[in-house]
Structures are given as structure tokens and as C-alpha cells.
Structure 1
Amino acid sequence: MLAVEVQGERKPGKEMSWPYYVSYLQSKYRLPVLLLVVCQDRRTAKWASGPFDCGTRGWITQRTHPMVVGPDNLPVITDARTAANNLAMAAFSALTHARSARINDILDAMGRALQATDGKAVDYFYEFLEINLRGTPAGEKWRDIMSFVSYFPGRGTVRETAYLEGEAKGEAKGVLRVLEVRGIPVTEDLRERITTCTDLTLVSAWLDRAGTVERAEDLFADRAAQTSGER
């Protein structure tokens, strides 16, 4: 089992909490545990390497010796193909070199790599970097890179699909609200038709028509504008 902790600087108390993490995970899951500490500078990496001993009177009861990666032993990955072939290594490269002048190039490569990737990996690595870079200039850059407008239009990725479906639901509520304010009745069948449509373009067109139609059925008059996204 791999336990990962990102350490931006030396923090008192880690020599006590890290042994606890390792012991707790090993006891709970009955598996060997490797503690990986990701550092952003040489001084922190040297400290995090330990070892951290627990004992007294010259007797060591427990010794914790983390595996440490930092700018000195992890490469700068600025090639999207290389990043795509090893997303985990690319993510760690971004974390360890977050203060480097090349961080924008690293994050750009990671973004392009995730653009070509689908499934749970996209969500995991997006959130992994967002959480661990939060509150830093690199974190702001990462959020910009992973915006849907810039990187995911028409790619059909899991994140894009979820985003577009969420937007379609919001537009559908707007359609119903406009019809309600105008006093136009909506049958249960039509309400279901509107709220279950996942085609954002189509629902947006309905929202535009909602302000002028005389009947709810007239929303669907232009059949050519409807697509397979309507359910």
C-alpha cells in the first residue's frame, strides 16, 4: 500500500504522525505500507528522509524511513506523450517542481495528457493536483488549464459529459420556470421530456423559445433542431 503526503516545508510533529499513519494502515489493511513524501525543495527533502526513531534509553522500538521524492531526484516532464505514458510520474513531477520556473510547461503537458485520457484517471489526477496545489500560483494555473472551454470541447470525456449534463439540467429548469411565469401549462409528459434531455444545445434552444411560444408543445415544433441527445 502506498501512502502519499505532499510536504511543502518542514513541519514539527511529522516525526510522530508519520509513524502513526504507517502503523494504522498496516494494522487496518494487513498489507505492507510504503510512505512516499513529495517535497518541493532540497532542504525539506533531506529532513523528510529521516529516519524517525521511536524509543528510549538507546533502544529503538520503531523506525520510520520515508521514501522521498523532490526536485533533485524527479525529472521535469514537459512532454505530453511522456506524461500520458506515466500519469502518476507526471503528477509527482508537477508537485515537486511546483516552484520551478518550468511549472507552467509541466502543467501544460499534464493537461494535454489528460485531454487524451478518459475514465476515472482524469478525475483522480485532476483532483489530486488541485488539492495539493491549492492556494499556490501553480494551483491557479492548473485550474485554468483544466477548464472545459480550453481543453475538453467535444472530446466526449467523462468529465465533459458530466459537466454538459449538469448544464442541460440547469437550462431545463429555466425552460420550465419561464413557462410557469408566463402561465403556460406543462403536462407531466412534456415536463419529463424537458428535464431528461441531456443535449445542452437543444435545451438552450428550448429556453430561447420559451419566452415566445403560446403552448408548451410549440417548444418542439422545429424537429430539425432536435438531436439524439433528447430522451
Structure 2
Amino acid sequence: MELRADLVFELRDVNGALVLAIVLEVQRDVEPDKKFSWPTYVTVVRARKRCGTVVLVVAPDAGVAAWAAENIDLGLGLGNVEPLVLGPAVVPEITDPADAEHETELAVLSAVAHGNGPNGLTVVQAALVALGRLDQEHALVYFQLIWNGLREPMRQALEALVMERQIEGEATLPPFVQKLIDRGKLEGIREGELKGIREGKLEGIREGELRGKRDTLLRLLARAGIALTDNESARIQTCMDVATLDRWIDNVLGSKTATEVLS
């Protein structure tokens, strides 16, 4: 059976010599079979390229990122593959449009990683403002990448924001973003109603994000065989801070007790 990676990059030095090969995989869900195919990719590419090879997993979900980062034992502890993982925990939330304009690609990546989180709308706005300074071709590609990664509640919140800006006559977003909204949608909608829609969507997104991260953390703890006391379980269920939950999710890897995870 032929196996194909999503993409393979080659890094070369100034003289053109091949230095490193990177097998890139985009992972949105936990797929146990990947822990068998990733080592295959690394071995085959390394044999063909005759250079060091690593696998880099891009995982927008914190739980999937934690799973992907687990060491893959090839047998009896005598060999292993340890994937590099690019997930929400290592991608900064860029909320300042000035920072986004300075590092546009990183701002796009930030919007993909954090666009559905509690600060998602602010992160997406910063990225979209930065896109307004790019040529149309690149801006549209980046915008489509961001839009495809947004879940429906955040898409609706963004649409409500664009409609607010149109009613107020503010042109703070690029023209192609304004085209998201059919002018007919504006008829009969008052600014206050749009604000209520947007705020309601964002509150729902926040609650859903917290609930999802708590569930992910509990699943990872169960899979790692780490038992929780009633107090520790209650601490997780009542946590209202996304960053703290993300930190605890990252802590599961390599921890043996709940105390280490919840530190």
C-alpha cells in the first residue's frame, strides 16, 4: 500500500546542499493509525533524501496537538519518533493590528489556531486588517484559509461585525471581507440587534471552548491512566480560564500524577 504525506519540505544551505527534510501533516482529529504511518514517512523520506528527517504536525485543536506530540515507540524502547507539533499552545494570539501587519503570515496562522477561541474575533480582525495591505491574490488565499477554519458561530459573529461596520460607515476591513455580507441582510436590522447577535455568539463560543477543553483534558488523563480525586475533578470542571486548561492539557504529556498536570 502506498502512503502519502500531506507535504514534504527540503531545507538547503547557502551552497544548495540538502540539510533537513520536513514531513508536514495537518491533523484536525485524533487518528491512531497516524502513529504507524508517521514513522514510515520519516524512514522513507530519510532513505530517499539521505538526510535528517522530521515530521511536523499542524494541529489547530489543543487536544489533538497534545496527542500528536506523544513519543512514538518503535519497539522495546530501542527506537522512537517524536513529532514536532505546531498547535495553539505555541502559536501566539496576535490581537494588535500593528503586530499583525508586521508579521502577516504569523497573524494568519494565529487566526487559524485561535479563531474559534474566546478572543477569536479580535484575533481574526487583526489578521484581516493586515491582509488589506497585501495584493489581492495573496489576501484572498489567506482569507479563504482563515474562513475555512472558522466554525459557524464565529462566522456568524464576524458577519454581524461586518454589518455593524457597514451601518456605521467604517471601512476598517478589506473590501473582499465586506462582500461577505449581502446588502439585503442589512434591511430591517438595527445596530443594537447586531451587537446583541455578536455578543451572544461570542459568549456561546467561550462556553463551548471551555467545555471542549475540559472534556479533552479528562479524556487525555483517562488515556494516560492518571486518576483524579473529587477535588481535582471539581477544579477542572470549574476552571473558567482557557489558557490554564491549555497548560494542563500540555502537562499531561510526561506527567504521572494529577498534581503534576494541574501545577
> TM-score, normalized by length of structure 2?
0.44
- Between structure 1 and structure 2, the one with the greater Rg is 1
TM, length-normalised to structure 1 = 0.49
